Structures are given as C-alpha cells and as structure tokens.
C-alpha cells in the first residue's frame, strides 16, 4: 500500500539497550548472524544490500530474508524493508516485543511499498508463538500456479496461553491464492489474507489485543480476515481486545471478516464488496463469541458460493452481540442470518439502526431466524429495509425457536413479491409497498408511505445512505415505541431519547426535504427490444411491458412503445413515481392509431381509480383530475386540441398545488387551465398506456407512446416548450446552487461551471442564469455536443452583456471540434464581433477553414436579448435572429459535427478565446430548423 509519506519510527533507545543486552544473554543466537542484538533498527534492501552487511544502517543493509528469519529480535527492534524492493518466500522474524515496546516490521525509503511475495509458500508473513509485534506498510502477495491452503499473513498460537499485542496495519494484501473445501470439516484459518490461528491442541489459548486496521485486501482466497482455529470448536471465549477496523476488502474469495472465540470484539468501519464468489462463507460473522460490536460497516455484492452468503451472520454460541449502524446493499443472499439451531445458535443478539437496500433477492433479508436460541431476547429494532421491484426475496426466513424474538420500529419498504416466514413479535413497524398475506400482525403498525427521501436511492457510498432519511411529513416520525437501552444514536448520528418515542426506522431526526432531482421518473422508452423499460432517473420505477406491448420507431428517441388497445398492452411499474398530493408534471409523446374512446397515456393507480388521466377523451387531448379515490369523485377535465392519427404530439399535464391550477399543453403550447383543489396521493403502480377505474384497468391506448416523464414539481412554460417542441437539449440555468446546470432533456450531460462561472441570482423571466465575468475559462461546459451540427440545427439562447469588447469577439455559444488540439475550432460561433450579433460558420475543423458570417445589430449592455442561430441542411442556408427578427442569412454548405458544448467562450486553434462578460439563460437546442411560430415563441420568452 503506497502512502505519500513514510516516517521511520524511532523508539526510545536508552531503556532498550539494557533490555536488549538482557535478552541477548537469555536467548541463544540461532544463527551466526553478525548483527544479532547489535542493531535496534535493521535495514533490508533487495536491490543494494548484502547479507554479509551488518544490517544496522541504511548504508549497510541486509539483502534477503535469510538473516531476518534467522534473527531473534528484541523488544523495540525495527525491521525495515526498503521501499521499491521485493522478497520472495516467507518472512518469519523471530522474537517477541514487550508491552509498550513492540517489534515493528515496516518500511523505509521512498517509493513502492516493499513486496513480500510468498510465491506459493504456506505463508508470505508468518509469526508463531510470538507477541507484541506490529507488521505494517508492506505489500504482500502469495500467488502460485494452483490454489492450496496458504495465507498472506498467518499468525499462529501453538501455546496453551494468551499471546498479546499483535498489530497488522496498512498493508496491501492481494492475490493470495488460498484454498478451502468445506468438505474438509475445518475452517480456513490457514488460508486467508490475514489469519490468526489457534492450535486446537488446547482449549485455553487465545489472543489479547489484536488490531487489524487500515489494510487493503483484494482478490484473496479463501477469504479476508479470520481470527479463530481450524476446528472452530472446543476453545474458551478467551480472545479479547480484538479491533478490526478501517479495512477495505474487494473480491475476497469467501468469508470476509470472522472472529471466533472472541470476547468483546469490535469490527467497524470496514468496507467489503464483491466477495464470496469462490469459497463458502458469510461476509462478516462471528461464532463462540460474546458482546461483540459489529458496526459502521459497508457491505455489498456478497455472494454465496455454497452456503450462507449473507452480509452478516451471528453464528452458533454467540451471546450479546450487537449489529448496528451498518449499510448493506445488493447482497442477494441477505443482510443477515443467525445460525444454527436452538441448541447451537445465537443468543441475545441486537440488530438495530441498520440500513439494508435490495438485499436478499435470492433468499431473505433477515434469514435463518431459527438460528437464534430461545434464551434471552433477540431484538431487531429501528432498521430500515428497502426491497425494490426486482427484489422478490423474502423479508424474513426461518422460524424463531422461542417467543423471544422482537421486531420493533422497523421500516419494511417492500416493492417485491416476497413474504414473511411468520415468526417474531412485531410492534410499531411500518410496512409499505406490497402487503403479502404473510405480513405479520402488528397492532401498532403504520402502512402509509414513510416518505423516505429517496427510496432505493442509496448508492455505493455511505453518504448516499442519506436516501433513507425521512421527509418532514413522514408518518414514521415519532411513531415508534421507546426501546430500553436503545444505544442513544441513530444511523446518522442523531440522538435517540431514552424517554421519548423514537421514529420508526434507522433515522431519528425531524425530517429532511429532498431536492427535486431525487424524485420523479423519466422513461426514454428507447430500449427497442425486450419487456423492460428503465427509469433513467434511478432504478426504482422500472416498467414491465404487458403482453401485446412492443416497440416501434420513436420520434425524439429511436424507439417508442407500440400499443394495440388490448387489455394487457401497456407498461407498468410497481410503485408511484411521483406524489400526486402535491405539485407535479406528467408528459408523453403520443402517436395514435385510433381516436375513439378514452385512451390514457400515463397515470398512477390509486386503490380504485387514478388521481389523474393524461389522455385522449372525446376525440381531444385531456388532462383529467379526480378529487378522491372513488368513481363517485368530482373531476376537472382540461381539454386541448383534437389530434389526427399517425402524427406525433407532445402532451404535458401540470398540476400546481400552490395555485390549485391544472394545465394542459400540447407541443409546448398551453391549451387550457382549470382550478382543482383536491389532489390526493395515489400509492399504486405507475403505468403507460392504461389507467385505473373502479379497480380495473381501462383506457387502453391504440398507438405509440414515447419519452414519458413525471416530475414532483411544476415545470415552467419554458421547460414545457423545450419538451413540447422536441428540443435536443435545454439548459434552464435555474438551479441557483451547485456548480452544474442540468439539461432538462437529459440526453446529454449537464453543463458544469468552470473558471469564475457562478449563479447570477436572477435570470430572464426566471429565477436564475449563469453569470460569466469575461475571463477566459469561465464558462458553462458540457462534454457532449448538445446539438448535431452536421445536419440541420437551431440554437436559441438568452444573453445579457455586462461589458462588450470592441476589439475581441465575445462568443456565448459554441462547440468544440475534434481535430488535434493544436488546430481545433468550433463548427459555429454565436457571438458579438465588434459589438454586433454575429453567427460565424466554419467549413471544417481547421483554422484555415472558410468563414461564413451573418452580422446582426449592435448589442448594448444590461438588456436581455434572445438570439437564435439556425442552419437548414436541406437548403444549405444559415440564419441569425435577434429578438425574433431575422438579422440575416447566408449560404453555407459544409456543416460538420462538434463534440462538446460551451456557453461563455470558444475554442480556436485549441485554445480558449472570445470570453463573454454577462449572463446566459434558457439555452434550447434542436436538431432541426424551427418554424416561424416556434421562433416567435422562443423570442417571446
């Protein structure tokens, strides 16, 4: 493991000289080593050392492992391997340190960590009956042509007693080709990345003070870290003071971190992923151990090769262990299990304040509950469990042996089809999503939407578990029951009172308001094949196509859904994509084959009906909202134009909960609005191509539907204009915070702020815009070409100048070329040249290309202008409009495609030029020419 700074430790020497002399008198020299007891710090250099050197200085280092392995070192000795070096074989220095004065194996110099390559030996680093030793800062491998029982670091106790003070820290242990067969009926404590192995000849041996921290273990078999013995049995719980923390495990072959015979172990802050594919085991587990703390670990993608495979396992003969504050996700065989039976199982475990996302898909989230004994009390409380629509695993598996298992204050958010194994006493839990008949009875349960900030939104990082905080209006807040001895803190570090009722779930704060980007759905419907349509905003609104739903050519996307009007010809997800009790927007592109009957393009299921219907009704487009979940509810129907068959239209419905207004847009143009005051939250499936009425599916669409979106907010009229006119990209520049401007159309990357770009605090008729200060490198920059300039295209942008250069150009929209950096330019420059609006077109990606310009009127500072550049590839004519008025046109016949998009300066000969000083807003880009009415609408703002 390489670190940026290395320090060679210096220990106190004065006391040691005496000690060393005493030890030297007591311990016979094992070899004619010239240096035994004459150094306190030993240096070994593989490239420039010699074993006939003294080894006592970096100018006279040893070279190989031979002298090291033949030396019995004294307390306080340091054994330092030179950075950049490499040694093959087993490193096995002899001797023990003393309390406070360990023997330290480490590195010196600068460069790569010293490599100890076991090259197939039973161990790369081996300690046997030694104590008070630290091994740190090494790179350790143990590879061979075939797998066999072998370890990276193996620490052995063949005594009948306790060995103390062993620290394994900050090592990089990778490619240990170990092996284990579970048919051998022994544990793999001789074949791990890091193994602490007790001889089974005694029942009383153990360790005291084992610290395993900061190590990186990658591709190690048969697993990561194991403290135990081969028999795994017949020892007292005599190992104490174990701390295993801050280790990173990736792709270890089987067991990740195991502690057996451990009293009060602490296993925390470890990250493990992608492990368990080659050898059996669970991720993090313990057996014959008491009072351990397994906390603040992050485990994902754990696999089951033969048995187990859960992220956690409190195994047989465990008592009083706590599993808390862990974040686990995507472990198909479950978050945790107990093992193994009432007579040999786990007693008095506490599982609390954990967050589990999409675990258990091939098994159960809480598995093998029959592995808990009937003694004591086994508790699961204040956990948050999310199972997405693809996670059809069980919530609980196995049956408790007694009536001593309790589930309290847990959130079970289950969109899959799995059920419960009917065990445990449940109280004050929140069950949301699917309610299988096996759901436990819970007289104090809550079943409303817990309003998690972003259900299913947890990612690869700890910070992303914030998705499982609660929104301020969550019914889970304060709805839990007080648990005695609850530990006093939740997953996020909020305090948990010892007297007041807590929340349900792992979050005990007062609520967090999610940002708009965390909600809603966008189905591009661009798959073109198969029966699944993905939500591009996240994975938890995946749509499944019913029989009779297939694919056709799309309009804004290459494909669209093709529906027949048949009663199963639609697509649906398993959850509501938006909250229809608040403000929301729903939109879709539709091309109808038939104009008869009601055909609903998008909706969400309530229990009996849908809260809204974006549809064709009575031959016209309509946005119909119903005032309650009943066929008797009153309604408003906002109507629009009558479409023709065989033509694509973009239809958008908006509900504004502040103004109580429902509006319908077609092709970006407002059709109508109406007052509506009774929105309600539908909690059922989202659907494309049908709706719900009187508890049954209705309104089947006969036609094609593409590009469906749902937002938990009101889209502005500019947003809807961009969507409704099929823009290729639209940057509203409204966020006001952060350093990135999103592209509403979402087909290309957002525009990041560079240089001094900042939010202006106001915009053209909107809340914000991007402010540029006229320095080169100050831009909003998107790494994608927002528009394809090899064909027809149009770019519309609002710009207000702060200063206008009379000599240099000020380019406010351009692309980058593709040529070698020293020559590349932009296909076009939308700019001020000599203070006048100009569209410059270039015939090729070269500074020697031909220039075509259209010059418009002069600009003045402090005024918003709408500027549109357009190129018609069919007629080879380019156009420039300022404020909706044609400024000029020119022939241009050599279009070519650019690669990246910038707002605020441009590139010429591979360098930045043409800085703009001013604000830019509402950039809409199209891969076609605009109609004159579209130009007027854009210029009207």
Partner 1 sequence: MAKNKQRPAARTVPKKPAVRPSSAQRRFARPRLILATIALVVAGAGAVSLSLLGHQSASASAAAPATASISPDSMAAVETVDGMALPVREYELFLAQDRAETFAYFQQHYGVTDSATFWTTAHGGQTPTKYLENAALADATKACVQQVLAAKYGVVSGFSYAGFLQAWQAQNASRSAALAAHKVVYGPTHYSESDYFTHVSAQIAEQLQTTLASKGVVKVTDAALESYYTAHKAQFASGASGPAQELEPKAAGPSAAATAVSFAQVKSVVRQYYVQAAYEALVAQRTKQAVVHVDQSVLAGIAIS
Write down the least CB distance from residue 302 to partner 1, Å. Answer: 11
Question: Which 594-633 residues touch partner 1, going by CB under 8 A?
Answer: none
One of 34, 362, 482, 674 touching partner 1 (CB under 8 A): 362
Residues in the chain: 941
User: Between residues 418 and 565, which has the closer beta carbon with respect to partner 1?
Assistant: 418
Task: Name the helix (H) or strand (E) containing 584.
Answer: strand 584-592
Cβ neighbours of 53 (radius 10 Å): 20
One of 740, 805, 846, 849 touching partner 1 (CB under 8 A): 740
One of 371, 455, 724, 726 touching partner 1 (CB under 8 A): 371
Q: Rounded to an integer, what distance in angstroms lies between the CA atom of residue 885 and that of residue 107? A: 73
Q: Rounded to an integer, what distance in angstroms lies between the CA atom of residue 151 and that of residue 179? A: 9
Question: Which 324-343 residues touch partner 1, going by CB under 8 A?
Answer: 325, 327, 330, 332-333, 337, 339-341
Write down the least CB distance from residue 182 to partner 1, Å. Answer: 5
Binding-site residue total for partner 1 (CB under 8 A)? Answer: 134
User: Between residues 78 and 368, which has the closer beta carbon with respect to partner 1?
Assistant: 368
Write down the least CB distance from residue 530 to partner 1, Å. Answer: 4
User: Between residues 464 and 627, which has the closer beta carbon with respect to partner 1?
Assistant: 464
Question: Which 626-655 residues touch partner 1, going by CB under 8 A?
Answer: none
Q: Rounded to an integer, what distance in angstroms lies between the CA atom of residue 690 and that of residue 702? A: 10
User: Between residues 88 and 678, which has the closer beta carbon with respect to partner 1?
Assistant: 88
List for the chain the helix, strand, coil content (%; round to 5): 5, 40, 55
Cβ neighbours of 597 (radius 10 Å): 16
> Do the beta carbons of residue 331 and residue 312 sit within 8 Å?
no
One of 27, 390, 445, 633 touching partner 1 (CB under 8 A): 390
Residue 352 phi/psi, 5-degree rounding, is -145, 150
C-alpha distances in Å from residue 483, one per residue of 382, 424, 498? 10, 16, 8
User: Between residues 642 and 909, which has the closer beta carbon with respect to partner 1?
Assistant: 909
Write down the least CB distance from residue 305 to partner 1, Å. Answer: 8
Write down the least CB distance from residue 213 to partner 1, Å. Answer: 8
Residue 294: strand, helix, or coil: strand
Binding mask 477-496 for partner 1 (x = CB under 8 A): ----------------x---
User: Between residues 417 and 678, which has the closer beta carbon with respect to partner 1?
Assistant: 417
Question: Which 667-696 residues touch partner 1, going by CB under 8 A?
Answer: none
Binding mask 29-68 for partner 1 (x = CB under 8 A): -----------------xxx---------------x----
User: Between residues 46 and 792, which has the closer beta carbon with respect to partner 1?
Assistant: 46
User: Between residues 479 and 571, which has the closer beta carbon with respect to partner 1?
Assistant: 571
Question: Which 403-442 residues touch partner 1, going by CB under 8 A?
Answer: none
User: Between residues 232 and 565, which has the closer beta carbon with respect to partner 1?
Assistant: 232
One of 86, 199, 444, 853 touching partner 1 (CB under 8 A): 86
Query: Considering only 33-41, 385-393, 400-408, 872-880, which stretch makes contact with partner 1 by CB under 8 A?
Result: 385-393
Residue matched to tokens 């000690």 = 19
Beta strand ranges found along 682-787 (DSSP E): 686-688, 691-693, 696-698, 702-711, 729-731, 740-741, 751-754, 758-759, 770-773, 779-782
The answer for 835, left when phi > 0, alpha when psi is -120 to 50, beta otherwise, is left
User: Between residues 372 and 938, which has the closer beta carbon with respect to partner 1?
Assistant: 372
C-alpha distances in Å from residue 793, one per residue of 829, 836, 868, 935? 13, 22, 10, 13
* Beta strand pairing call for 350-352 and 411-414: unpaired
Under the binding rule (CB under 8 A), the answer on residue 896 touching partner 1 is no
Write down the least CB distance from residue 635 to partner 1, Å. Answer: 35
Under the binding rule (CB under 8 A), the answer on residue 463 touching partner 1 is yes
Under the binding rule (CB under 8 A), the answer on residue 536 touching partner 1 is yes
Q: Rounded to an integer, what distance in angstroms lies between the CA atom of residue 364 and that of residue 869? A: 58
User: Between residues 10 and 820, which has the closer beta carbon with respect to partner 1?
Assistant: 820
For residue 888, the cross-strand partners are 880
Residue 724: strand, helix, or coil: helix
Write down the least CB distance from residue 629 to partner 1, Å. Answer: 32
Those residues with Cβ within 8 angstroms of residue 465's Cβ, 6 or more apart along the chain or in another chain: 327, 355, 458, 491
Write down the least CB distance from residue 816 to partner 1, Å. Answer: 5
Binding mask 799-838 for partner 1 (x = CB under 8 A): -----------------xxxxxxx-x--------------
Write down the least CB distance from residue 158 to partner 1, Å. Answer: 22
* Beta strand pairing call for 885-891 and 901-903: unpaired
For residue 204, the cross-strand partners are none
Q: Which of 898, 865, 868 is nearest to 790 (CA)?
A: 898
Under the binding rule (CB under 8 A), the answer on residue 296 touching partner 1 is yes
Question: Which 748-767 residues touch partner 1, going by CB under 8 A?
Answer: 748-750, 752-756
Q: Where does 372-470 have alpha helices with state H? A: none
* Beta strand pairing call for 635-639 and 648-656: unpaired
Query: Considering only 306-314, 570-578, 590-598, 924-932, which stretch makes contact with partner 1 by CB under 8 A?
Result: 306-314
One of 11, 19, 58, 392 touching partner 1 (CB under 8 A): 392
One of 375, 447, 464, 628 touching partner 1 (CB under 8 A): 464
Under the binding rule (CB under 8 A), the answer on residue 250 touching partner 1 is yes
Question: Which 267-286 residues touch partner 1, going by CB under 8 A?
Answer: 269-271, 273, 280-282, 285
Letter string b/e over residues 214-226, b meaning 16 or more CB atoms within 10 A of that residue's CB: bbbbbbbbbbbbb
Q: Rounded to an integer, what distance in angstroms lies between the CA atom of residue 100 and that of residue 210? A: 14
Letter string b/e over residues 566-594, b meaning 16 or more CB atoms within 10 A of that residue's CB: eeebbbbbbbbbbbbbbbbbbbbbbbbee
Under the binding rule (CB under 8 A), the answer on residue 394 touching partner 1 is no
Q: Which of 448, 503, 449 is nearest to 478 (CA)?
A: 503
User: Between residues 280 and 796, which has the closer beta carbon with respect to partner 1?
Assistant: 280
User: Between residues 59 and 461, which has the closer beta carbon with respect to partner 1?
Assistant: 461
Residue 339, both tokens? 């093992």
What is the 3-state secondary structure of 221-252?
Answer: ECCCEEEEECCCCCCCCCEEEEEEECCEEECC
For residue 248, the cross-strand partners are 216, 271
> Do the beta carbons of residue 138 and residue 105 sit within 8 Å?
yes
Question: Which 158-197 residues touch partner 1, going by CB under 8 A?
Answer: 174-175, 182-183, 185, 187
User: Between residues 7 and 18, which has the closer beta carbon with respect to partner 1?
Assistant: 7
One of 225, 287, 351, 453 touching partner 1 (CB under 8 A): 287
User: Between residues 103 and 288, which has the closer beta carbon with respect to partner 1?
Assistant: 288
């Amino acid at each position: 493991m390489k670190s940026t700074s290395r320090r060679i430790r210096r220990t106190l020497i004065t006391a040691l000289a005496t000690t060393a002399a005493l030890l030297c008198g007591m311990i016979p020299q094992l070899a004619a080593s010239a240096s035994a007891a004459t150094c306190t710090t030993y240096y070994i250099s593989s490239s420039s050392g010699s074993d006939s050197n003294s080894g006592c200085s970096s100018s006279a280092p040893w070279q190989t492992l031979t002298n090291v392995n033949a030396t019995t070192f004294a307390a306080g000795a340091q054994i330092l391997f030179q950075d950049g070096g490499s040694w093959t074989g087993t490193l096995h220095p002899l001797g023990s340190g003393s309390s406070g004065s360990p023997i330290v194996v480490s590195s010196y110099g600068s460069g790569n960590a010293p490599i100890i390559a076991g090259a197939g030996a039973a161990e790369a680093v081996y300690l046997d009956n030694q104590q008070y030793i630290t091994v740190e800062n090494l790179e350790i491998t143990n590879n061979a042509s075939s797998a066999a029982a072998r370890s990276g670091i193996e620490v052995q106790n063949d005594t009948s007693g306790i060995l103390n003070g062993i620290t394994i820290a900050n090592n990089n242990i990778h490619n240990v080709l170990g092996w284990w067969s579970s048919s051998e009926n022994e544990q793999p404590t001789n074949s791990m990345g890091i193994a602490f192995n007790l001889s089974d000849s005694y029942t009383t041996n153990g360790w005291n003070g084992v610290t395993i921290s900061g190590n990186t273990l990658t591709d190690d078999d048969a697993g990561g870290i194991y403290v135990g013995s081969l028999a795994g049995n017949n020892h007292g719980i005599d190992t104490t003071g174990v701390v295993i923390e801050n280790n990173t495990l990736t792709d270890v072959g089987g067991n990740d971190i195991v502690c057996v015979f451990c009293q009060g172990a602490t296993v925390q802050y470890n990250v493990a992923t992608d492990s368990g594919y080659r050898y059996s085991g669970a991720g993090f587990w313990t057996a014959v151990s008491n009072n351990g703390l397994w906390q603040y670990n992050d485990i994902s993608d754990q696999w089951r090769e033969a048995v187990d495979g859960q992220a956690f396992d409190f195994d047989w003969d465990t008592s009083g262990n706590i599993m808390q504050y862990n974040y686990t996700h995507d472990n198909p065989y479950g978050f945790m299990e107990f093992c193994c039976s009432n007579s040999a199982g786990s007693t008095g475990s506490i599982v609390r304040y954990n967050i589990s996302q999409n675990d258990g898909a091939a098994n159960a989230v809480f598995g093998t509950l029959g592995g808990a004994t009937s003694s004591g009390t086994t508790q699961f409380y204040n956990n948050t469990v999310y199972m997405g629509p693809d996670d059809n695993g069980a919530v609980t598996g196995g049956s408790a042996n007694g009536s001593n298992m309790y589930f309290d204050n847990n959130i079970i958010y289950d969109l899959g089809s799995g059920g419960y194994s009917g065990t445990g006493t449940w109280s004050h839990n929140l069950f949301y999503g699917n309610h299988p008949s096996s759901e436990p009875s819970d007289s104090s349960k809550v079943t409303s939407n817990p309003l998690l900030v972003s259900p299913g939104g947890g990612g690869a990082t700890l910070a992303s578990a914030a998705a499982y905080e609660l929104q301020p209006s969550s019914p889970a807040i304060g709805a839990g029951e007080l648990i005695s001895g609850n530990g006093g803190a939740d997953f996020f570090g909020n305090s948990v009172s010892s007297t007041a009722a807590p929340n349900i779930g792992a979050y005990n704060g007062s609520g967090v308001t999610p940002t708009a980007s965390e909600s809603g759905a966008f189905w591009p419907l661009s798959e073109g094949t198969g029966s699944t349509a993905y939500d591009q905003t996240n994975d938890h609104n995946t749509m499944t196509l019913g029989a009779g739903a297939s694919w056709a050519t799309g309009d804004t996307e290459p494909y669209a859904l093709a529906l027949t009007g048949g009663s199963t010809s639609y697509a649906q997800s398993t959850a509501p994509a938006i909250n229809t009790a608040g403000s929301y927007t729903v939109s879709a592109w539709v091309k109808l084959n038939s104009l008869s009957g009601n055909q609903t393009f998008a909706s969400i299921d309530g229990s009996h009906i849908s809260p809204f219907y974006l549809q064709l009704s009575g031959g016209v487009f309509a946005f119909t909202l119903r005032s309650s979940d009943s066929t008797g509810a009153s309604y408003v129907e906002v109507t629009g134009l009558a479409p023709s068959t065989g033509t694509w239209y973009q239809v958008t419905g908006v509900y504004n909960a502040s103004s109580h207004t429902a509006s319908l847009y077609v092709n970006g143009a407002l059709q109508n609005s109406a007052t509506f005051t009774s929105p309600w939250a539908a909690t059922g499936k989202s659907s494309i191509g049908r709706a719900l009425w009187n508890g049954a599916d209705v309104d089947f669409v006969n036609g094609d539907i593409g590009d469906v979106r749902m937002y938990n907010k009101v889209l502005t009229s500019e947003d809807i204009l961009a969507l409704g006119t099929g823009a290729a990209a639209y940057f509203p520049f409204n966020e006001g915070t952060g350093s990135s401007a999103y592209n509403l159309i979402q087909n290309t990357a957002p525009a990041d702020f560079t240089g001094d770009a900042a939010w202006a605090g106001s915009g053209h008729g909107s809340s914000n815009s991007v402010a540029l200060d006229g320095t080169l490198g100050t831009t909003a920059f998107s790494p994608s070409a927002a528009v394809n300039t090899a064909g027809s295209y149009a770019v519309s942008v609002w710009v207000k100048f702060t200063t206008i250069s009379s000599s240099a150009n000020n380019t406010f929209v351009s692309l980058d070329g593709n040529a070698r950096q020293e020559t590349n330019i932009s296909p076009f420059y939308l700019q001020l040249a000599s203070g006048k609006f100009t569209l410059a077109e270039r015939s090729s990606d070269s500074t020697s290309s031909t220039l075509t310009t259209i010059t418009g009127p002069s600009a003045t500072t402090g005024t918003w202008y709408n500027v549109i550049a357009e190129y018609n590839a069919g007629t080879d004519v380019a156009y420039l409009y300022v404020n909706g008025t044609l400024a000029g046109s020119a022939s241009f016949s050599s279009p070519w495609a650019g690669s990246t998009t910038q707002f605020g300066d441009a590139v010429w000969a591979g360098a930045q030029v043409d800085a703009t000083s001013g604000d830019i807003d509402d950039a809409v880009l199209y891969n076609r020419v605009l109609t004159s009415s579209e130009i007027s609408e854009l210029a009207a703002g």
